[in-house]
Structure 1
Amino acid sequence: MSAFEIIGGKKLKGEIIPQGAKNEALQILSAVLLTEEKVVISNIPDIKDVNKLIDLLAALGVSVSRINKDTYSFEAKSINIDYFQSEEFKHKGGGLRGSIMIVGPLLARFGKAAIPKPGGDKIGRRRLDTHFLGFEKLGAKFVYDAENNFFNVDASELKGAYILMDEASVTGTANIVMAAVLAKGITTIYNAACEPYLQQLCKMLNRMGAKISGIGSNLLTIEGVDRLQGTTHRMLPDMIEIGSFIGMAAMTGSEITIKDVCFSELGIIPTVFAKLGIQFELRGDDIFIPAQDSYEIETFIDGSILTVADAPWPGFTPDLLSIVLVTAIQAKGNVLVHQKMFESRLFFVDKLIDMGAQIILCDPHRATVIGLNKQVKLRGIEMTSPDIRAGVSLLIAALSAQGRSVIYNIDQIERGYQDIEERLRALGANIRRIEALEA
């Protein structure tokens, strides 16, 4: 089993370029199934989850051509619908959370789809009801085979409908939008997600000939069309990586420049890190973070402890709460981190406590961090990554810690972060991949 060995306590310095957005990629790549014409997509992150989806598309019959490291062309002329019944499909689809995203476009174009219950992070329940309730509103029927964990969906003709979503799910909204663009009539989606990645999908679909209005709001109107054409699309930089690098710079007291961040698309993210006391300045479209010996967490106006909680966009993304939590360990002051969406995502704090962090896990959703103000260094330990974001949080902690740390189960980290050890070494980090038995 591969692991990362980190010798921490070293300041980093240099420039780092964020990869293309993982959460955008899973939607955009699935959208190539909506047309038989060529779609060229650039700034695709070279990470396991995305590569698995590209492999799944190829197995379905999509012609895939890699133009360069981050650019591919796709032509979905000859989709093999019978592939759904194969054991190979069950294995490939079940190993990838993002495989659910192919259902909407397949329903729209072919009238049927199937998907095994997807895999992914072990961070708590991640229900798929929102997706299927939306498909049902459009006229689809589905049967869940509980024994085999398999969803079968049928829709001989999708028809536009008014859909009030039970939650502002990004993937749910994206899937329903992709199903609705080829449906007969007008679809209205209220309480729609409005994240930049969803906006990117809608803009791409409009370039393909779709008629979507209300982009960027929580009320989308989609006028169905008969067919879509090919297009080109470039993905945004990954905002979760950008936030991770901001936290890493603060924890390690490093001077780092994050390049080409598309700052206008980051929403409240820079503001939240500023509330932790992290200094930065915008230079063109780069974020420059100076080396800081200390950073102090703000309080609310009445002096009460700062709370950072996740919320639908334009609120703070849940994917960065783990990074906020680990960054606060060495801040001056205290913060309450409230993870509302997933009930298991904070369970990695026991490892941080073993490293010397002062954290109180209040319940599965809330943790209070008492900042060390860099008066006490964390100590290196051996630990296991439970999910993508916790894994990178542990990596940031290890980079700031005194001594040697080993992180096992780094497959989880590599599902979401491209060439992470090479990019960190370029900043001066002492990190290497080793083969080791998990502790």
Structure 2
Amino acid sequence: MSVFQIRGGNQLSGEIIPQGAKNEVLQILCAVLLTTEPVRIKNIPDIRDVNRLIEILEDLGVKVQKNEGKGDFTFQADSIQMDYLQSKEFKKDGAALRGSIMLMGPLLAMYGKAYMPKPGGDKIGRRRLDTHFQGFINLGAKYRFEEGEDFYGVEVGEKGLNGAYMLLEEASVTGTANIVMAAVLAKGKTTIYNAACEPYLQQLCKMLVRMGANIQGIGSNLLIIEGVESLTGTEHTVLPDMIEIGSWIGLAAMTKSELTIKDVSWENLGIIPDIFRRLGIAVEQSGDNMIVPAQEHYKIQKFMDGSILTVSDAPWPGFTPDLLSIVLVIATQAKGSVLIHQKMFESRLFFVDKLIDMGAQIILCDPHRATVIGLNHETPLRGTTMSSPDIRAGISLLIAALSAKGKSVIHNIEQIDRGYEYIDTRLRAIGADIIRE
């Protein structure tokens, strides 16, 4: 097991090119199963979760070709081996990657059945799969659960998949993606209300349309899909990762550094820049680049009635839950106080005990809420030894360590590698003192 050794307190500077979006590419890779023709995908990040999904696709029989450009691959799913889905190998590989659940929609649409082991992934709380399976059932699939084998399964009956109206219980991004990928090849019209509408889901829908799908309402929470007979190949470029962009903003603020983040796709960032501005952080636009200037201090705004600022997560276009951990860390060195309200996952704030050990002033009110009293950069955090519980808490602890006085050691950095490409190499390039051991 590797660890990061970090000496904090360095002021950083330079340019950063954000990686391709992890949450988008996991959907896009699953969609290659919807055609037997080649699909070329560019800007794929070289991270553990994505590489694991590519390996699963190869084991499933997908031909994978690495092209010359960075993160440029061509996939062709013309010889799928369905037996792999109920093998011991897939039980191990699929359970280790929660995103592999999105293989089910395309496989159900193309081959009439799909299986999935009980998923693993982050230890951030329970993530229900009901939305996925209820959507498949609405389209005419039958649900199966192999009790002894720990496999979930869906199979299509004699009538095949047929379009239906459905009102989703929750606007699940992966659930919406799975249902959309099943519905594009179903017979008739499918209407999905309370659909997720994140930019990454929009990207998936736009790619499917280029492949020949008929999808209306892209970008809204009401999707109307007319099923088609088959889809063709296409090319697709993955958006920059908005979560990583937010992480770099947090790093600049905590280390009093000026950073330029290149090609951020401003139109797809939603309210993310505004939330950081409400924390007092200057976020400037220069073309499609983002400049975060060096700031000695930043002051948290209050609401118009003078009450304490609350930052909470919500389905898009609300604030993404994946950046709440970053916001919490930033607030530890701000001037003022803020309430962080994590609504979606009941264990995601439990990493704050590590920040408290570093000297942060945080009151964990309950599993979903934490109040942060900022230190205004007057008392730096102190280095310590800690372990990364999940991807987003891991990068947040890494940012805290890079701003802290003294040496820090972070264990279980494989969690960070799941979502961040060559993070130590890229940090060293802008002046960070970090080594991997």
Matched position secondary structure for 1:106: helix
Residues 136-285 of structure 1 aligned to structure 2 (within 5 Å): 136-156=137-157, 157-285=160-288
Higher deviation after alignment, 147-156 or 309-318: 147-156
Q: Structure 2: 5+ residue runs without aligned partners?
A: none
Letter in 1 for 2:149: N
Equivalent residue of 2:3, what SS?
A: strand
- For 1:150 and 1:348, the matched residues in 2 are separated by 31
Query: What corresponds to 1:53 in structure 2?
Result: 53
What is the rounded CA distance, in whole Å, between the counterparts of 2:386 and 2:149 in structure 1?
33
Q: Deviations over 1:170-200 (max 9, x none)?
A: 0000000000000000000000000000000
Once residues 164 and 146 of structure 1 are traced to their aligned partners in structure 2, the CA distance between those partners, rounded to angstroms, is 29
Runs of 4+ in structure 1 over 4 Å off = none
Residue equivalent to 2:118: 117
Partner residue in 1 for 2:14: 14
Match of 1:84, SS? helix
Q: Provide the C-alpha distance between the structure 2 equivalents of 1:116 and 1:51, rounded to a whole number of angstroms.
A: 19
* Distance across 1 between alignment mates of 2:216 and 2:346: 35
Match of 1:34 in 2: 34
When the two structures are superposed, what TM-score results if normalisation uses the length of structure 2?
A: 0.99
Amino acid in the other structure paired with 1:49:
D
| 1:228-270 deviations in Å (ceiling 9; x for gaps) | 0000000000000000000110000001000000011000000
Q: 1:290-348: CA deviations, max 9, x gaps?
A: 10000000000011000000000000000000000001000000000000000000000
Q: What is the SS of the residue equivalent to 1:209?
A: coil
- 1:431 match: 434
Equivalence map 1:351-370=2 (5 Å): 351-370=354-373
Looking at structure 2, the residues matched to 83 and 241 of structure 1 have their Cα atoms a distance apart, in angstroms, of 34
Amino acid paired to 1:300: F
Measure the CA separation in 1 of the matches of 2:86 and 2:45.
30
- Report how far residue 85 of structure 1 moved: 2.1
Partner of 2:5: 5
Deviations along 1:17-63, whole A, 9 cap, x unmatched?
A: 10000000110000000000000000001000000000000100000
Structure 1 unmatched ranges of 5 or more: 435-439
Distance in 1 of aligned mates of 2:156 and 2:294: 57
Local SS of the residue matching 1:246 = helix
SS of equivalent to 1:2: coil
Q: How far apart, CA to CA, are the structure 1 residues paired with 2:400 and 2:322?
A: 17
Q: Aligned letter for 1:250?
A: A
- Paired with 1:283 and 1:248, the residues of 2 have a C-alpha distance of 19
- The AA in structure 2 aligned to 1:366 is R
* Alpha-carbon shift at residue 74 of structure 1 (Å): 0.3
Aligned-partner SS, 1:220 = strand
The match for 1:86 is 87
The letter for the 2-side match of 1:405 is S
- Residue 149 of structure 1 and its aligned partner are, at CA, apart by 2.2
SS class of match (2:209): helix
Give the Cα–Cα distance (whole angstroms) in 2 for the partners of residues 426 and 406 of structure 1.
Answer: 20
1:296 aligns to 2:299 (yes or no): yes
Q: Which residue of 1 aligns with 2:109?
A: 108
Offset of residue 148 of structure 1: 3.1
Alpha carbons 2:210, 2:234 under 8 Å: kept = yes
- Over the aligned positions, Cα root-mean-square deviation in angstroms equals 0.6
**Residues 1:74 and 2:78 aligned together:** no
| Contact persistence 2:48–2:419 (CA under 8 A) | yes
Task: Name the CA distance, whole Å, in 2 between partners of 1:225 and 1:396.
Answer: 47
Three-state SS of the structure 2 residue aligned to 1:212 is strand
Say yes or no: does 1:401 pair with 2:408. no
> How many residues were matched structurally?
434
Paired-residue identity, %: 71
Query: After superposition, where does 1:316-331 map in structure 2 within 5 Å?
Result: 316-331=319-334
- Residue aligning to 1:62: 62
Question: Structure 2 CA distance, aligned partners of 1:306 and 1:146?
Answer: 47
Residue 418 of structure 1: how far off its partner (Å): 0.3
The corresponding residue for 1:344 is 347
Letter of the structure 1 residue corresponding to residue 67 of structure 2 = I
Partner of 1:437: none
2:53 and 2:100 in contact (8 A); partners too: yes
Letter in structure 1 aligned against 2:11? K
Deviation (angstroms), 1:94: 1.1
Instruction: Supply the AA of the counterpart residue of 2:26.
Output: L
Q: Report the alpha carbon displacement of residue 145 of structure 1 after superposing the two structures with TM.
A: 2.6
Q: Distance in 2 between matches of 1:307 and 1:418?
A: 31
Give the Cα separation in 2 of the matches to 1:97 and 1:174.
14
Residue 276 of structure 1 aligns to which amino acid in structure 2? Answer: L
Q: Which amino acid aligns with 2:92?
A: H
Asked if the contact 2:254–2:400 (Cα under 8 Å) also holds between the matched residues in 1, the reply is yes
Offset of 1:400 from its aligned partner? 0.3
